[in-house]
């Protein structure tokens, strides 16, 4: 199913440094646990735009350097 990520909507915030204490997945799919990482909150719009869900994304510093926000 097609989805769109909205990064500048209500309740969204930019990448912020954090410490990951519980297992999470980064935007590249790598596991994160007990390490420094970055997180942001975005809205994910599924399908034609009638269904939106908030999502928290996690990334390493290397992910941020190589991530293309499309």
Q: pLDDT digit string (tens) for 10-53?
A: 899 999 999 999 999 999 999 999 999 999 999 999 888 788 89
State residue 70's pLDDT score. Answer: 54
The structure tokens listed for 30 are 């790598």
Number of domains composing the chain: 1
Q: Please state the three-class secondary structure of 7-70 as a single string.
A: CCCCCCEEEEEEEECCCEEECCCCEECCEEEEEEEEEEEECCCCEEEEEEEEECHHHHHHCCCC
In the chain, what is the straight-line distance between the N-terminal and C-terminal CA atoms, in Å? 17
> pTM of the prediction?
0.86
The backbone region for 12, taken as left when phi is positive above 0, alpha when psi lies in -120 to 50, beta otherwise, is beta
Range of the domain at 37: 3-66
């Amino acid at each position: 199913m097609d989805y769109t990520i909205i990064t500048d909507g209500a309740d969204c915030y930019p990448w912020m440094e954090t410490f990951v204490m519980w297992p999470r997945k980064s935007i590249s799919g790598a596991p994160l646990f007990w390490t420094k990482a970055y997180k942001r909150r975005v809205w994910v719009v599924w399908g034609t735009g009638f269904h939106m869900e908030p999502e928290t994304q996690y990334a390493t510093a290397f992910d941020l350097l190589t991530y293309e926000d499309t």
